[in-house]
Structure formats: structure tokens, C-alpha cells
Chains A and B, each alone.
Chain A
Amino acid sequence: MSTTATTLTAAAAPLRARRSLLAWCLRYALVLPPAAVVVIFVAWPLWVTLYHSFFQLDARGHAVAFAGSKNYQALFASPLFHQVLWNTAVYSVLAVVLCVSIAFGLSLLLYGRVAASSRALLVALFSPTVMPMIAAANIWLYFLIPQFGMVDQLLRWAGLGHENWLGHPGTALLVMVMLFVWKYAPYFALFLLAGLQAIPPDVWEALRTEDPYGWASFRRVILPILRPMLAFVTTMAVLYAVETVDPVFAMTQGGPNNGTNLVMFYLYNLGFNYYSWGPAAALSVLLMIGLSTLSGLSLIVLERRAFHWQ
């Protein structure tokens, strides 16, 4: 008896080891190919971009000589790039502040009312959320046609003359901001609404009886509970704003006078229109650092409330 038992365990040990080795192999076989796809299409290109940003590139984009920080210097020496940065900053600040405030207001309006609201109301409110940005941009393009567009007709009706909204750098950028708010405010309101609904009903009830006008309790209780969600939505909004390129493409092509030339469109132009591969690589690296920091930040904020990492 005892001998058989010993032989059995003795035989089982290598078998188990072999089995677990096999299991490991299988796990790697399942996990590594997708990971390889990520490495090939994200990590490796990122490395090449970083590498290229320190090299002089020929017209076909091959590295020919080490350039140190020359590409970065060339980028920052360009007055157009300064203007692009300024445009992007103005656009992003305006778009984010307006968008998040309006989204917050909307979420308060919607709170407790989504179930009771009619379908028409929800579809009207969220139709910009489900349509492509290009379609949204076209709608506004159509809306703003000088002389014939709805906006100009309304202005004329009100006796305010007419305005070529996309014809001046300032107003064109403002149109971009409005488009952003129109497209994304309801979307962000959804997240804030989810945050509001996470507040337990008895908190609402207590606040309701003690402070029927709600301002003080709103500020002292509700806002702190919502703060992580607000922070998350704000970082997302910044991310979306900095990445804006579709409406620039569809509405203005960066004009007039580069007034709506935003950083993503500039990157597209550097790479695919001017063939300035070196500065394009440098700008890609800077964007990568900026944007992924933001993304990471939003992920951390989010993780703290719902996403249990590890």
C-alpha cells in the first residue's frame, strides 16, 4: 500500500509540474498575442516617434542625422505654433468651463426625472451625443451660412443685421466652443447624473427637511460628494477639447487667418500636409506626454470611486 502511494506521489510531482508549465504556456498563448498587438501599434510607434523627434528627417521621413533638440526648437520658434497653442488654450478653457457648468446644471435638472421624462425630450437633448462630430459640425455649418442660415435669418428678423460667424478668427473659435458645448454637455451630464444618483436617498431627505432652499446643503454636502465625479468629467472634457480636430476639418480648415487652427489640426498639417516630419514627431511626443497624463489622471480619479485596480 505504502509503496504504491509513494510511487503515485513521486509520479505526480513531475506531472503536476508539467501540467502547470502547460497551463502557464496556455495563459501566455492567450494573453501575449493581444498584448503584442498593443506593443506593435502603440508602444513601438511611440518609441519610434520619440526617437525620431531627436533626429533630422528627410522628405520621406527617414532619419538621416542626429539633431538633438533642434526639432523641438524649430517647433517652438514657429510663430504659427505659438498662435496654435494660444488658440487651443483659449478654446479649451472656454469649452471646458462652459461645458462642465452646463452639464452640471443639466444633471441637476435631470435628476430624478429621467424615468418620468418623455422620450421626445431625451432624444432632443441627447441627439448631439449619439451623432458623429462631423455630422454635428455640418449641422452647425448649415445653421450658420451667412445670409441664408437660420441664425442669420433670426438676427435679421430681430433687426440685428447679419454676421459671417465663420469669417472672423474670434467668432469662428467661438462657434467651435459652442459646437463643443452642444455636442458634449449632455454627455457629461450623464456622468454627473450618475454621481448624483449615487447619493443615498436619506441624505437627500435629511437635507430636504432641514434646508428646503438647498443652497447651503448643496454647497456643504452635495458638492463634496460629487467632487471626484466633477474632477473626472473636467479632465475628460479637457482631453476631448485638446483632441478636437473633426470640426476644424469640416468647418474652417484652421482658418480664417489660422484663427481656428487647433493643435491636433496643426499636427495633421505638419505630418500630412507640410511633411515636416521632425517637428511633427516632436509635437507628437509633447501631446503624448500631456494627453496621457490627463488620461491617467482621470483613470486614477475614477479608480478611487469605482474602479478597483489590483
Chain B
Amino acid sequence: MAVNGMALGMRPGKPSTLPHHVASRRTWRARLRQAVLWFVACVWGFPTLWVLYETFFAGAGRFGFTFANLAQAWQVAPFGRYYLNTLVMVFGLLAVQLLFGAVVGFVLARYDFPLKSVITLIFLFQVVVPIYAVMIQDYRMLSSLHLLNTMAGVMLPYTVSGIAVLSFRQAFRSVPRELEEAARLDGYGTFGIFRRVYLPQAIPAALAFAVVSVTYHWTDFLWPMIVTNTDNARPVVVGLAMMAQASESGMQWNLLAAGTAIVILPVLILFTLATRRILAAFAATFNW
């Protein structure tokens, strides 16, 4: 599934060797392009910035800075617990998905056995079928297993990721057989070869998959909303959506803004720290 997105935009512009009038027109156009790009970026960033501004500055005089809104929102809903749940579910899933993906991908890429193509198709099937089509039945199954309102219940249908299996399989298939032969001569067993020869080759694919999996499950809403009932299992996105569901009294908009800020700030900070890496990972693996 690897597209050459890892080299995203790393190619520098070619130095110009054109006649002067063409070159100057080009720089003029380049500047215009840059200006348009900045304009678009401002438009796109503005709503988020506005909410962050309201969170930190609203109700604090015109130019004062305040944590009051944030603190109030944090107090009103157990965001700490929500974050813990989210981390447990997102990284728990990632671990299981990577483990299954690597092992199954390895076996499928490297060995032959009867019905291999059928089994491969099963994993492909998982990629193609949207969870929405089986949501109701999965819910009923969890209910009969008494796994409703547990983090395990939210995670269970997702534990095997077809995308992970197929990405690993793809990465392993591109490993030259000679490397394996050399390792075998050095006395490595199958597990050693898997670990020392194959796994390192799959790291870019694994990292790219990790970004996509984490993003998907961290932002997933409908399924965890249906499965969870209490704060013990609710992820942060569901908690935020609950917050927007005021009923009897009117909405306190400043709290909605602050709650949203609590949810987006960590991810924005992370994204700011590793902007290009994350973008490259997005472009490298597709997210169904």
C-alpha cells in the first residue's frame, strides 16, 4: 500500500535557466501562488484559531489571558478519565493490530499452503466492509458476551486490521530472498530471520499504519458512542459529543469551546512538533 508519499515535497524547485522575461514572470507567479496558499491556509486555520482564542481569552477582559474556561470544562466532565480510556483503547488496538498484521503478513508473504488465497481474501474483505453495515449485529453480539460498556468491547471488532495485514504482506514481499539465505547461513532460525531480516524492512509501513490506525480510532465516534454508557469506558470524542448535548437549560457556549480545545490541543501540539512526518504517513497509507 506504499505510495511514494514518503518523499512528500522534498524535491526542491529547479533553478531557472530561462530567458529573463520568462523568469521574472515566473517569480511573479510564484509569489502570487505563495500568497494564495497563505490566504487559503488562513481561511482553513481560522475557525480553529477562533475557538482557541475564545477558550483562552473570552470572559477575561478584552485582552486578558485566562485558564478559567478550560478549568471549568475540565471540572464539568471527567476529561482525565476520557483521555486515559482513549489512550488505552487506541494504543491497545494498535499493539494487537501490529502484532496480528506482522505475523499474518509474514506467513502470507513468505509461505504457501492450501486455501491461502481464500484466507487472504478474508482480510481483504475486512478492509472493504464498512463497520456501519454490521454495527447492529456486532452490538448485539457484544451484548450477549456482556462486553457492552467496556473498552474491550469497543476494541474487539477492530482487533484484526486488514490494512495492517496487507501492508505488512506487501512490505515483506519486497524483501530479497538472498538476504534471508544469508541470514540462514549465519545460523538464524525462522523467528530470528523474521525479527532480524523481515521486521526491520517493514518499519516504514508499520509507522505509517500506526499513524493511520491511531488517527482513525482516536477520531472514531459512532461505534464507541453506541457501545459505551458510562465514563468508565467513554473515549474523549464521545465525552465531547455528550457535552454538546445540553438539555433542559441553555448551552454554555464558552464551555463547549473549552471542551473542544481540551480535545484538539494535544493533537495540534503533536502535529506541530512532527508536521512533515505525520503528513508523509497520511499520504503513504490509505484509511478506510
Contacts and interface: CB of A to CB of B under 8 A. Distances in A.
Interface string A30-44: 111011011111111
Contact of B130 (A133, A209, A243, A302): A243
Interface in A273-298: 277, 280-281, 284-285, 287-288, 291-292, 295-296, 298
Contacts of B11: 112, 115, 197, 201
Interface residues of B, number: 98
Interface string A19-55: 0000110011011101101111111111011000000
Nearest to B260: A138
Interface stretch (A75-83, A116-124, A156-164): A116-124
B20 to A, nearest CB: 13
A106 B219 CA distance: 24
Interface in B250-288: 253, 256-257, 259-260, 263-264, 267-268, 271-272, 275-276, 278-279, 282-283, 286, 288
B37 A124 contact: no
Interface in B18-35: 18, 22, 25, 33-34
Q: DSSP majority for the A interface?
A: helix
Given A30-B107, A34-B165, A139 B237 contact: no
B74 interface: no
B64 interface: no
Interface string B224-267: 01100000000001001100100000000100110110011001
A246 B263 CA distance: 15
Interface residues of A, number: 102
Interface in B195-235: 215, 218-219, 221-222, 225-226
A190 interface: yes
Interface string B48-85: 11110010000000000000000000000000000000
Contacts of B41: 120-122, 124-125
Contact of A306 (B1, B18, B253): B1
Interface in B103-127: 103-104, 107-108, 111, 113-114, 119, 122-127
Contacts of B113: 24, 27-28
Given A123-B271, A125-B40, A134-B240, A109 B33 contact: yes
Contacts of B185: none
A41 B156 contact: yes
A121 B3 CA distance: 24
A93 to B, nearest CB: 20
Nearest to B222: A245
B49 to A, nearest CB: 8
A73 to B, nearest CB: 20
Contact of A194 (B8, B18, B34): B8
B170 interface: yes
Tell me which of A31, A48, A111, A306 has the highest count of chain B C-beta atoms within 10 A of its own C-beta.
A31
A307 interface: yes
B12 to A, nearest CB: 7
Interface stretch (A2-10, A218-226, A263-271): A263-271
Interface string A120-142: 11111111111111110011111
25 contacts: A34-B160, A39-B122, A41-B138, A41-B157, A43-B122, A45-B134, A61-B140, A112-B12, A113-B9, A115-B10, A115-B12, A117-B9, A126-B271, A130-B271, A131-B263, A131-B267, A135-B263, A135-B264, A204-B14, A264-B132, A272-B136, A291-B133, A295-B288, A298-B286, A307-B170
Given A109-B37, A134-B237, A306-B2, 13 more contacts: A34-B123, A40-B141, A42-B126, A45-B138, A112-B9, A113-B33, A123-B271, A132-B221, A142-B253, A150-B47, A245-B132, A288-B130, A291-B129
